[in-house]
């Protein structure tokens, strides 16, 4: 059989091309594909003694599948091409056997081997093609989901930029008038109201942090906070000052383990918002249960990055949210917006870093990573 296939190579392949052209007149590109791949598949076919998967031309199965998949060729059309190869061989083989009066017992085993060979090739093509199509569909689905996610963030960004602009102007005015009022007070009068003024100033800082967080979704670079150099310890202390009233009221201790204090090139107010959000999340996790009233803040580094860990020993992230906590509007809190952690993620990315976490009942660790060889997305041009 192998000798026959080799001797009649030209006759068989010409008949194969003719059949494919007649069957696929509306898909002329298949003839171009066939011209490129026919020789390789013919060699794969006639070496009957070599298993398909061990043959040097086995890789051409993947190549033809990629080629026709790009043209959205249906699988049945591809398999039909190799059925036509079977017919073209039989068209030449039957007259050859008849003319030479070769006994059936000499030809039938070889014919069956040929059929099995073609069946195996078709099976390999089916598996490969379906795997590639499945991968392509999954890739397209992921791209579509990613685009929808980006569209949602862009819309949210425009809304956030508009809202932040409307809020900032009256807040600046209120803060300015408070400063004027304080300047008009006598020394004794200022001492009487100092603790109230301190509360107002602290709340102003919190509001600015919230606005900065919403601005992290904005694509308007002109509204972005400038990049400054800030020591890690300064950043942590400024945030602890903001959350100190809640720490005291809920009896939660902070354990600081700052093994290093590098200067970070960051948007300071934005990073204050990230740390404040994480600390408040930790306080939420410790409330309503007999958990250790302790939050640990630790800094460390490796060759490539600086790290800040915020660890609490509370309830942990619910199992059904572990894969989606950085997705906008996903929250386990009845009064939550589901924007806190997505905002934190975007702020970290804009500041040349990333955020990740591990969580089990009894310990949750959020890690802020600042890459040493990375620059923030927005730099101060002044």
pLDDT (0 to 100) of residue 224: 63
Contacts of 281 (CB under 8 A, 6+ apart): 340, 341, 366
CA 129, 131, 133: angle at the middle one, nearest 5? 65
Measured N-to-C along each axis, helices 187-215 and 268-286 cross at an angle, to the nearest 10 degrees, of 90
For 221, which DSSP code?
Answer: G
Q: 140-184: per-residue pLDDT in tens?
A: 777 777 777 667 666 666 666 666 666 766 777 777 788 788 888
How far is it, in rounded angstroms, from Cα 134 to Cα 338? 33
Strongest mean pLDDT among 85-89, 110-114, 144-148, 308-312: 308-312
Backbone phi, psi, residue 306, to 5°:
-100, 150
How far is it, in rounded angstroms, from Cα 114 to Cα 49? 11
Q: Model-level pTM?
A: 0.51
| CB-based contact 279:295 (threshold 8 Å) | yes
Q: 329-343: per-residue pLDDT in tens?
A: 777 766 666 778 888
How far is it, in rounded angstroms, from Cα 355 to Cα 370? 9
Say what percent of the chain tops pLDDT 70. Answer: 82
Instruction: For residue 366, name the pLDDT band (cuts at 50, 70, 90).
Output: very high
Cα within 13 Å of Cα(104), Cβ side: 0
Span 265-287, average pLDDT:
90
Distance of CA 286 to the CA centre of its chain: 31
CATH architecture of 225-371: 2-Layer Sandwich (3.30)
């Amino acid at each position: 059989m192998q000798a026959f296939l080799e001797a009649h190579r030209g006759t068989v392949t010409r008949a194969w091309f003719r059949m494919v052209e007649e069957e696929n007149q509306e898909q002329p590109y298949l003839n171009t594909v066939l011209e490129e791949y026919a020789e390789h598949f013919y060699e794969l076919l006639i070496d009957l003694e070599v298993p398909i998967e061990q043959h040097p031309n086995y890789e051409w199965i993947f190549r033809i599948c990629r080629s026709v998949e790009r043209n959205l060729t249906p699988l049945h059309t591809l398999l039909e091409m190799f059925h036509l190869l079977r017919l073209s061989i039989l068209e030449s083989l039957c007259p050859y056997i008849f003319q030479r009066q070769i006994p059936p017992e000499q030809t039938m085993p070889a014919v069956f081997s040929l059929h099995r060979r073609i069946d195996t090739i078709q099976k390999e093509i089916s598996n490969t093609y379906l795997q590639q199509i499945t991968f392509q569909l999954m890739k397209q689905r992921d791209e579509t989901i990613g685009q929808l996610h980006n569209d949602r963030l862009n819309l949210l960004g425009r809304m956030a930029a508009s809202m932040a602009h409307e809020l900032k102007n009256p807040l600046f005015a209120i803060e300015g008038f408070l400063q004027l009022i304080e300047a008009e007070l006598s020394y004794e009068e200022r001492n009487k109201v100092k603790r109230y003024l301190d509360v107002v100033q602290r709340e102003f800082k919190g509001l600015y942090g919230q606005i900065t967080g919403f601005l992290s979704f904005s694509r308007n670079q002109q509204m972005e906070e400038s990049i400054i150099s800030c020591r890690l310890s300064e950043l942590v202390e400024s945030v602890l000052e903001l959350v100190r009233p809640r720490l005291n009221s809920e009896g939660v201790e902070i354990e600081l383990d700052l093994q290093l204090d590098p200067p970070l090139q960051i948007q300071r107010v934005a990073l204050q918002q990230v740390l404040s959000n994480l600390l408040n999340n930790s306080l939420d996790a410790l409330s309503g249960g007999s958990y250790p009233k302790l939050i640990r803040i630790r800094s460390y580094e490796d060759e490539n990055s600086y790290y800040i860990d915020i660890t609490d020993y509370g309830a942990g992230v619910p199992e059904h949210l572990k894969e989606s906590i950085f997705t906008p509007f996903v929250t386990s809190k009845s009064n939550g917006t589901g924007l806190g952690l997505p905002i934190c993620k975007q702020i970290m990315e804009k500041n040349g870093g990333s955020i990740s976490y591990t969580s089990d009942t009894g310990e949750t660790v959020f890690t802020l990573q600042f890459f040493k060889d990375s620059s923030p997305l927005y730099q101060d041009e002044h």
